Amino acid sequence: MKLLYLILGGNIGDRELVLHHATQCLSAEVGKIKSHSSLFETEPWGMVNAANFLNQVVVLETKLDAFEILDKVLKIEEKLGRVRDSNTIGYQPRPIDIDILFLDSEVIHTTQLTIPHPEIQNRNFVLVPLCEIDKEFMHPVLHETVDNLLKKCNDPLKTTLFKLNKY
């Protein structure tokens, strides 16, 4: 069994409900959820005039390999309304986005997949919820804890605790 760290987020529709459904799908199709962060509302990274995101880090125990996980995650995103347009340049609003942050301490770099996610150290919306659940996790490439990465992060966008409304 491996520990899988994912960041979930979305800024279209009922954000809270979509994240709830995403965690249910992940639990059914990828592995057992071991822990999850609170929900955090975050300013949109890489977008102008877009609605704020809700984000959450989820840690699962899985038997799947990285490419099986990627396949399942992409299918879950599609099931929950994510539409990918290859003609679109840059980041776009979306109901759900699920990114693989870490898979144990594996390092994978292919044209289809990079683990650890290459932007972890640059994004408060990843580091803040990640620190809430595992601040001592050691980044296997940068060789620093996620807590240290957060302290060094220059991301100016706000990440604030979201008050749960439904789930």
Mean pLDDT of the region 43-71: 94
Of the candidates 53, 158, 47, 122, the residue with the CA atom closest to the CA atom of residue 92? 47
- Predicted pLDDT at 31: 98
- Predicted pLDDT at 93: 84
- Predicted pLDDT at 91: 73
CATH superfamily of the 2-161 domain: 7,8-Dihydro-6-hydroxymethylpterin-pyrophosphokinase HPPK (3.30.70.560)
> What pTM was estimated for this model as a whole?
0.94
What tens digit of pLDDT does each residue of 108-126 get?
999 999 999 999 999 999 9
Report residue 46's pLDDT band, with 50, 70 and 90 as the boundaries. Answer: confident
- Predicted pLDDT at 87: 65
Q: CA triplet 113, 126, 69: central angle to 5 degrees?
A: 35
- Predicted pLDDT at 88: 63
Higher pLDDT, 135 or 87: 135
For the residues of 47-61, what is the DSSP string, one character each? -SS-PPEEEEEEEEE
Q: Could you tell me the residue ranges of all domains in the chain? A: 2-161
Q: Token pair for residue 100?
A: 């693989």
Mean pLDDT of the region 137-141: 98
Mean pLDDT of the region 25-39: 97
What tens digit of pLDDT does each residue of 67-97 get?
999 999 999 999 998 887 666 666 788 899 9
Mean pLDDT of the region 122-145: 97
Residues 66, 115 contacting (CB under 8 angstroms): yes
